[in-house]
């Protein structure tokens, strides 16, 4: 598949995912602020920032619409979206922001799962708050990634961006860059900071699912022990949330690991890259912005029930309005036939 066709496919893909992502996250906002029950009241403090971060990723993904091309010495960050109008540096920063906010989403989802576990295990609220505060150290990863992403960007002058552009054009003369030019990127892809960022995100992609499975196992075990002290309905709701959160923390394993594999391959095969992989990295990174709200809506039972009631209400309205319209048509026909007589 040539790059021109892939560029056209992505130009269709990004607007569709943008509309779907914004719609789903808007629905989730409505559910969080209007349908959250007392049992899940504390989850609002996690759901709101998580959903806000996913909404931001949806916006920045559409703004960027990125393609990454590895050269011998540099990494070109090509933008097909609105960032192109603001220049190469805007597209470079868009890619950096996606990575940083992505780490925030992963940590918030992991924190939510951990909070469910300790809130069920500890009856003392101060103990829960204390342990939750200790877990907040994980957010240092996001802060560090923000700092490192700025450092690894290096020289962002016009001359540096032009250098990346010229190297990309010279090493990939068969590519069609019309939809992306002008562009820039990281001038030194082999720098220590680039390697640190790569290894850090690879570690996070494996750490989140492993720690998430541990929290899931512990939470379900605690719920089984507390079966006599909690109502059957509450246990069912807690278990459903735990299953949904586990799937959310598994997303890095299914999305970011394949993207990292493709990315590593292209980095080592600049003369014969896997062209499809140049587009998949930003696509894989923005997929959770669609799946996360779906998982939250389905596995948080009050939200699922609210959507079911809404759908049933619309069906009832349509079914009751249909006979009325038929009756009106029948009366018109009778009136006309009477006039004819």
Torsion of CA 91, 93, 99, 102, to 10 degrees: -90
* pLDDT of amino acid 251: 78
Question: In the numeric block, which tokens belong to residue 289?
Answer: 């912005």
* pLDDT of amino acid 30: 95
pLDDT (tens digit per residue) in 304-317: 999 999 888 666 66
* pLDDT of amino acid 148: 85
Domain 3-299 has CATH 3.40.50.1860: no
| 318, pLDDT greater than 80 | no
pLDDT-wise least confident of 192-201, 221-230, 317-326: 317-326
pLDDT-wise least confident of 3-12, 101-110, 188-197, 267-276: 267-276
The domain segmentation of the chain, as residue ranges, is 3-299
pLDDT (tens digit per residue) in 163-185: 999 999 998 888 888 889 889 99
- Is the separation of the CB atoms in 69 and 273 below 8 Å? yes
* pLDDT of amino acid 35: 92
Closest CA to 174 of 40, 1, 2: 2
* pLDDT of amino acid 339: 46
Torsion of CA 116, 288, 27, 53, to 10 degrees: 80
* pLDDT of amino acid 338: 46
Question: In the numeric block, which tokens belong to residue 252?
Answer: 């890095």
pLDDT (tens digit per residue) in 234-249: 788 888 888 888 888 8
pLDDT (tens digit per residue) in 42-58: 888 899 999 999 999 99
* pLDDT of amino acid 54: 93
Q: What is the mean pLDDT of residues 111-128?
A: 84
| 285, pLDDT greater than 60 | yes
């Amino acid at each position: 598949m040539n790059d021109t066709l892939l560029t056209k496919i992505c130009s269709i893909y990004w607007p569709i995912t943008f509309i779907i992502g914004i719609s789903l996250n808007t629905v989730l906002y409505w559910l969080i602020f209007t349908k959250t029950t007392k049992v899940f009241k504390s989850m609002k403090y996690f759901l709101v920032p998580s959903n806000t971060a996913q909404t931001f990723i949806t916006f920045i993904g559409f703004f960027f619409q990125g393609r990454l091309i590895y050269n011998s010495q540099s990494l070109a960050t090509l933008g097909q979206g609105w960032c192109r109008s603001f220049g190469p540096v805007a597209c470079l920063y868009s890619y950096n922001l996606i990575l940083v906010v992505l780490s925030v989403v992963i940590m918030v989802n992991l924190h939510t799962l951990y909070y469910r576990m300790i809130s069920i295990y500890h009856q003392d609220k101060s103990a829960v708050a204390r342990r939750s505060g200790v877990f907040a150290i994980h957010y240092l990863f996001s802060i560090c990634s923000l700092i490192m992403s700025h450092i690894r960007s290096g020289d962002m002058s016009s001359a540096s961006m032009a250098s990346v552009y010229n190297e990309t054009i010279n090493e990939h003369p068969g590519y069609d860059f019309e939809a992306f030019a002008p562009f820039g990127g990281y001038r030194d892809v082999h720098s220590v900071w680039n390697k640190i960022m790569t290894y850090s995100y690879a570690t996070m992609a494996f750490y989140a699912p492993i720690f998430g499975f541990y929290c899931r196992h512990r939470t379900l075990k605690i719920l089984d022990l507390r079966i006599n002290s909690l109502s059957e309905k509450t246990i069912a709701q807690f278990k459903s949330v735990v299953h949904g959160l586990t799937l959310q923390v598994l997303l890095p394993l299914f999305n970011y690991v394949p993207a990292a594999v493709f990315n590593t391959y292209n980095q080592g095969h600049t003369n014969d890259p896997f062209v499809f992989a140049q587009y998949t990295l930003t696509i894989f990174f923005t997929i959770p912005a669609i799946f996360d709200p779906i998982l939250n809506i389905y596995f948080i039972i009050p939200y699922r029930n609210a959507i079911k009631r809404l759908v049933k209400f619309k069906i009832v309205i349509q079914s009751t309005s249909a006979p009325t319209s038929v009756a009106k048509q029948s009366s018109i026909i009778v009136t006309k036939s009477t006039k004819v007589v």
